[in-house]
Amino acid sequence: MPHANRSAAGDQDIWQRIDSWGVVPVVTLQDGRTARRLAEALTAGGLPGAEVTLRRAGATAAIEALAKVSEFLVGAGTVHSVRQAEQAVAAGARFVVTPGFAQDVVAWCLERSVPVLPGTATPTDLELALAHGLERVKFFPAEPLGGVPMLQALSGPYAAIRFMPTGGIDSSNLPSYLELPSVFACGGSWMVRREWLEHEAWEQVVRATSQARHAVERARGGTN
């Protein structure tokens, strides 16, 4: 069906963009006031996209503002319910990320061809991912769960799944994750620290984002 084909192509485009970045900024915003400036800073640093967590009341407004920025890819994170997913997608979120395996949210997204990354932490979660036909998941919280060694262990029996580890990752350990064939990208907030956003220190965001992109390139052997 033409509509299904267009949706599949759109999903693939989103994954290709995230694959090329190697890292996704995870942002917590309380409104859309500084959204455009943030988008400009991230884009200047080489990452024209972000996952906005639904941890504050104004997160939906921030998603809406970012979605209006040309060529900027915005997703919604910390999605716990179908209602939140509906609101985020209506606001312009192009993909949905959940902290745990929220089966109702996953089903809602799959029914509507919305790219979704459910949070996983155990083999049981990965079995659920396979049962839902998913090939990409979030691994959270990455460092407390064992980090790189844990992902190496899981990649044996779950070779078909690719991961976006998030939680405890920063510029110091980013390369070790990206060197794993099973990791397509990492999520992190170190490029968009809360104090930088509060004080609108955009030059810091540009610098940290650019450093993250260079780290990705080095980890991937100079290719991107």
Q: What digits encode the pLDDT tens for the residues 47-56?
A: 999 999 999 9
DSSP per-residue codes, 88-110? HHHHT-S-EE-SS--HHHHHHHH
Domain boundaries, the chain: 2-209
pLDDT at 6: 32
What is the arrangement of strands in the sheet containing 119-120, beginning at the earlier edge strand?
119-120, 136-139, 162-165
Amino acid at 218: R
CATH number, domain 2-209, options 3.10.450.50, 3.20.20.70, 2.60.120.620, 3.40.190.10: 3.20.20.70
First-residue to last-residue Cα distance in the chain? 33
pLDDT at 8: 57
Q: Is 68 a catalytic residue?
A: no
Average pLDDT for 114-133: 98
Catalytic residue, chosen from 135, 138, 179, 203, is 138
**Residue pLDDT, tens place only, 202-223:** 999 999 999 999 999 999 986 4
This prediction has a pTM of 0.93
pLDDT at 96: 98
Q: How many Cβ atoms from other residues are within 10 Å of residue 156's Cβ?
A: 8
Indicate the average pLDDT of the chain: 94
Average pLDDT for 169-195: 97
Catalytic residue, chosen from 51, 127, 135, 203, is 51
**Residue pLDDT, tens place only, 69-99:** 999 999 999 999 999 999 999 999 999 999 9
Q: Is 203 a catalytic residue?
A: no
